[in-house]
Amino acid sequence: MSRRPFFRLAVAALPFALAACATPVNPSDGHAEDYGAVTPLPEAARPEGALLPPVPQPPERPVAPTSVTDPAIPRATRVDNFVDYTVQTYGADPAYVRSVLAQAQVQQAILTAISRPAEAVRPWRDYRPIFINDARINGGVAFYRENRAALDRVAAETGVPAEYIVAIIGVETSYGRVTGNWKVIDALYTLAFDYAPRAPFFAGELAQLFALQKAEPQLDVLQLKGSYAGAMGMGQFMPSSYRLWAKDGDGDGQRDLLTHKPDVFASIANYFVVHGWQRGAPVVARAQRAEGAADFKPENWEPVYPLANLAARGYTPAPGQPTAEGATLLSLDGEAGMEYWLAYRNFYVITRYNRSPMYSLSVHQLAQAIRAGVGP
Residues with catalytic annotation? 172
Distance between CA atoms of residues 193 and 165, nearest Å: 34
Nearest CA among 201, 228, 341, 224 for reference residue 282? 341
Distance between CA atoms of residues 5 and 24, nearest Å: 15
Q: What SS3 state is found at 230?
A: coil
Q: What SS3 state is found at 262?
A: helix
**Cβ 313 vs Cβ 40: under 8 Å:** no
Taking residue 84's Cβ as centre, other Cβ atoms within 10 Å add up to 14
The torsion defined by the Cα of 356, 360, 361 and 366, in degrees rounded to 10, comes to: 130
Distance between CA atoms of residues 201 and 69, nearest Å: 9
Distance between CA atoms of residues 90 and 92, nearest Å: 6
Measuring CA to CA, how many Å separate 11 from each of 4, 79, 112, 227, 349? 12, 27, 10, 10, 25
**Cβ 245 vs Cβ 270: under 8 Å:** yes
